[in-house]
Amino acid sequence: ELKVEQNPLFLSMQEGKNYTIYCNYSTTSDRLYWYRQDPGKSLESLFVLLSNGAVKQEGRLMASLDTKARLSTLHITAAVHDLSATYFCAIWIYNQGGKLIFGQGTELSVKP
Protein backbone atom coordinates (compact mmCIF):
# COMPACT_ATOMS: atom_id res chain seq x y z
CA GLU A 1 0.00 0.00 0.00
CA LEU A 2 1.25 3.45 -0.91
CA LYS A 3 1.84 5.52 2.21
CA VAL A 4 3.41 8.83 3.09
CA GLU A 5 3.72 9.16 6.83
CA GLN A 6 4.78 12.19 8.83
CA ASN A 7 6.01 12.19 12.37
CA PRO A 8 5.05 13.85 14.59
CA LEU A 9 1.54 14.94 13.64
CA PHE A 10 1.47 17.63 16.29
CA LEU A 11 4.44 19.54 17.60
CA SER A 12 4.49 22.20 20.24
CA MET A 13 7.82 23.97 20.49
CA GLN A 14 9.30 26.79 22.44
CA GLU A 15 10.89 29.66 20.61
CA GLY A 16 14.60 29.19 20.14
CA LYS A 17 14.49 25.40 20.14
CA ASN A 18 15.39 23.01 17.34
CA TYR A 19 13.31 20.16 16.07
CA THR A 20 12.91 17.79 13.12
CA ILE A 21 9.84 16.60 11.26
CA TYR A 22 10.15 13.23 9.54
CA CYS A 23 8.52 12.06 6.34
CA ASN A 24 8.65 8.38 5.43
CA TYR A 25 7.24 6.97 2.23
CA SER A 26 6.60 3.44 1.08
CA THR A 27 7.37 3.50 -2.63
CA THR A 28 10.14 4.61 -4.94
CA SER A 29 10.20 8.32 -5.63
CA ASP A 30 12.93 10.72 -6.63
CA ARG A 31 10.98 13.90 -6.01
CA LEU A 32 9.81 15.08 -2.65
CA TYR A 33 7.99 18.31 -1.82
CA TRP A 34 7.51 20.26 1.37
CA TYR A 35 4.62 22.70 1.74
CA ARG A 36 3.45 25.06 4.42
CA GLN A 37 -0.22 25.80 5.11
CA ASP A 38 -1.36 28.60 7.40
CA PRO A 39 -4.87 28.43 8.87
CA GLY A 40 -7.42 29.49 6.30
CA LYS A 41 -4.85 29.57 3.52
CA SER A 42 -3.71 27.44 0.63
CA LEU A 43 -0.37 25.67 0.30
CA GLU A 44 2.91 27.51 -0.04
CA SER A 45 5.77 25.65 -1.69
CA LEU A 46 8.85 25.43 0.55
CA PHE A 47 11.22 22.92 -1.01
CA VAL A 48 11.52 20.53 -3.92
CA LEU A 49 14.08 17.78 -3.37
CA LEU A 50 15.07 15.99 -6.54
CA SER A 51 17.82 13.54 -5.75
CA ASN A 52 19.31 11.34 -3.09
CA GLY A 53 21.30 13.41 -0.62
CA ALA A 54 19.64 16.67 -1.67
CA VAL A 55 19.68 19.34 1.01
CA LYS A 56 17.99 22.71 0.77
CA GLN A 57 17.83 25.54 3.26
CA GLU A 58 15.70 28.62 3.52
CA GLY A 59 15.97 30.71 6.64
CA ARG A 60 15.37 28.56 9.70
CA LEU A 61 14.17 25.57 7.69
CA MET A 62 16.35 22.90 6.15
CA ALA A 63 15.08 19.90 4.21
CA SER A 64 16.94 16.77 3.18
CA LEU A 65 16.17 13.65 1.19
CA ASP A 66 17.45 10.08 1.49
CA THR A 67 15.86 8.11 -1.32
CA LYS A 68 17.45 4.84 -0.22
CA ALA A 69 15.85 5.09 3.22
CA ARG A 70 12.72 6.66 1.69
CA LEU A 71 12.99 9.41 4.23
CA SER A 72 12.93 13.19 4.18
CA THR A 73 13.45 15.50 7.11
CA LEU A 74 12.48 19.09 7.71
CA HIS A 75 14.71 20.58 10.37
CA ILE A 76 13.71 23.72 12.24
CA THR A 77 16.46 25.79 13.79
CA ALA A 78 15.81 28.27 16.58
CA ALA A 79 12.07 28.29 16.04
CA VAL A 80 10.12 31.53 16.03
CA HIS A 81 6.40 32.09 16.36
CA ASP A 82 6.05 32.93 12.66
CA LEU A 83 6.85 29.32 11.81
CA SER A 84 3.60 28.14 13.40
CA ALA A 85 1.69 26.40 10.59
CA THR A 86 0.92 22.95 9.23
CA TYR A 87 3.72 21.37 7.18
CA PHE A 88 3.05 18.75 4.54
CA CYS A 89 5.44 16.51 2.70
CA ALA A 90 4.41 14.91 -0.59
CA ILE A 91 6.05 12.51 -3.00
CA TRP A 92 5.73 12.51 -6.75
CA ILE A 93 4.92 9.14 -8.25
CA TYR A 94 4.80 8.34 -11.92
CA ASN A 95 1.58 6.34 -12.06
CA GLN A 96 -0.76 7.44 -14.84
CA GLY A 97 1.39 10.35 -15.88
CA GLY A 98 2.37 11.47 -12.41
CA LYS A 99 0.76 12.81 -9.26
CA LEU A 100 1.52 14.02 -5.75
CA ILE A 101 0.71 11.92 -2.71
CA PHE A 102 0.58 13.82 0.58
CA GLY A 103 1.49 12.97 4.11
CA GLN A 104 -0.94 13.66 6.94
CA GLY A 105 0.62 16.99 7.82
CA THR A 106 2.44 18.15 10.96
CA GLU A 107 0.78 20.93 12.91
CA LEU A 108 3.52 23.05 14.42
CA SER A 109 2.89 25.50 17.22
CA VAL A 110 5.77 27.69 18.40
CA LYS A 111 5.19 29.30 21.75
CA PRO A 112 7.12 32.17 23.29
Residues that bind other proteins (CB under 8 A): 31, 33, 35, 41-43, 45, 48, 50, 88, 90, 92, 96-105
Residue 108 CB neighbour total at 10 angstroms: 21
For the CB of residue 18, give the shortest distance to other proteins in the complex, in Å: 25
Strand order in the sheet with 55-58: 4-7, 19-25, 71-76, 61-66, 55-58
For the CB of residue 23, give the shortest distance to other proteins in the complex, in Å: 12
Q: Which C-beta is closer to other proteins: that of 50 or that of 69?
A: 50
DSSP E strand boundaries for 42-84: 43-49, 55-58, 61-66, 71-76
- In angstroms, rounded to a whole number, what is the distance separating the alpha carbons of residues 108 and 63? 16
Q: Which C-beta is closer to other proteins: that of 79 or that of 90?
A: 90
Q: Which C-beta is closer to other proteins: that of 42 or that of 68?
A: 42
Q: Which C-beta is closer to other proteins: that of 77 or that of 84?
A: 84
For the CB of residue 112, give the shortest distance to other proteins in the complex, in Å: 25
